[in-house]
């Protein structure tokens, strides 16, 4: 199937999941995770009406952004225009921050430690810019995963809330890598509860309106549990197995 058909099928499944969640009015942003795929495939996805792209490597997002920077909008199926958005979703090393900021990202999804936030703020001050960010939480407990421990999330939010150039908009997680539905759902509901908790704490300058969770294999569960953004790669672009 082509990208347009894949995207349409995913949007249909998202609508069904929203209906099941009893929150059909929520909008869910579909982020097409284009990592490992060349700019031409992203261009094709833009022709198919996709406007938000997720990348997990600094070198790759900056190169693709440069290659595609003339494409600022895409046309939706109803003929309206949507601005192109770049999302950084991967582990971010402090020494790559400066390079990443060459891209005017919509969200950096993966802020998971104080030192990283401080470096982002320092480089943004120099540029006279700000960025919207999410805090990544390791809800699965898998040691290979990035993200702050759930117990530490509120403290991290408090510690970085004062950094003027960072606009904290919500939380992000990667669900457990398992076929056990209950375990995966547990990760997503944990993220939602953490977000509600942080909301109650009413930390100054911290907004908790976005939940970035759900990938090709589990986005329906994530939408049922409250996702506002899903990050979908293979279900849109096909297999990456020979590319990584
Ligand atoms: C690769 C990746 C995705 C997309 O994964 P698929 O299974 O291809 O949909 C989502 N989120 C993150 C953080 C990723 O690295």
Domain positions in the chain are 3-234
Name the closest-CA residue to atom 8, ligand 1: 233
SS3 91: coil
pTM exceeding 0.95 = yes
Say what the pLDDT of residue 243 is.
53
CA of 31 to the centre of ligand 1 (A): 10
Please state the separation of Cα 119 from the chain's center in Å. 20
User: Class assignment of domain 3-234?
Assistant: alpha beta
CA of 55 to the centre of ligand 1 (A): 9
pLDDT band at 242 (very low <50, low <70, confident <90, very high): low
Say what the pLDDT of residue 101 is.
98
Q: How many helices (H) and strands (E) does the chain have?
A: 9, 10
pLDDT band at 36 (very low <50, low <70, confident <90, very high): very high
The string of pLDDT tens digits covering residues 39-66 is 999 999 999 999 999 999 999 999 999 9
Residue 105 clears pLDDT 60, i.e. is over it: yes
The string of pLDDT tens digits covering residues 74-96 is 998 788 999 999 999 999 999 99
Say what the pLDDT of residue 79 is.
87
pLDDT band at 1 (very low <50, low <70, confident <90, very high): confident
Ligand 1: atom nearest CA of 56 is 15
To test ligand 1's pocket by mutation, which of 215, 230, 238 has the most ligand atoms within 8 angstroms of CB?
Answer: 215
Long-range contacts at 226-230 (CB < 8 A, ≥ 24 apart): 226/21, 226/23, 226/26, 226/188, 226/192, 227/28, 227/188, 228/26, 228/27, 228/28, 228/29, 228/170, 229/28, 229/29, 229/31, 229/87, 229/107, 230/14, 230/28, 230/29, 230/30, 230/31
């Amino acid at each position: 199937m082509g990208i347009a058909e894949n995207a349409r099928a995913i949007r249909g499944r998202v609508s069904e999941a929203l209906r099941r969640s009893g929150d059909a009015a929520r909008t869910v942003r579909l982020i097409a995770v284009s990592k490992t795929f060349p700019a031409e495939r992203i261009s094709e996805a833009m022709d198919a009406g996709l406007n938000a792209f997720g990348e997990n490597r600094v070198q790759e997002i900056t190169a693709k952004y440069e290659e595609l920077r003339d494409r600022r909008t895409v046309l939706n199926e109803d003929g309206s225009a949507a601005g192109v958005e770049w999302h950084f979703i991967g582990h971010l090393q402090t020494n790559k921050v400066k390079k990443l900021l060459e891209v005017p990202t919509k969200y950096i999804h993966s802020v998971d430690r104080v030192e990283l936030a401080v470096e982002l703020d320092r480089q943004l001050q120099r540029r006279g810019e700000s960025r919207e960010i999410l805090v990544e939480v390791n809800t699965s407990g898998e040691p290979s995963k990035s993200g702050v421990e759930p117990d530490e999330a509120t403290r991290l939010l408090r510690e970085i809330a004062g950094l003027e150039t960072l606009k904290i908009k919500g939380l992000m997680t990667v669900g457990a890598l398992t076929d056990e539905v209950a375990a995966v759902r547990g990760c997503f509901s944990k993220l939602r509860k953490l977000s509600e908790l942080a909301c109650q704490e009413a930390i100054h300058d911290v907004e908790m309106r976005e939940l970035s969770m759900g990938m090709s294999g589990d986005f329906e569960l994530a939408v049922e549990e409250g996702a506002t953004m899903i990050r979908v790669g293979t279900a849109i672009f096909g297999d990456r197995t020979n590319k990584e």
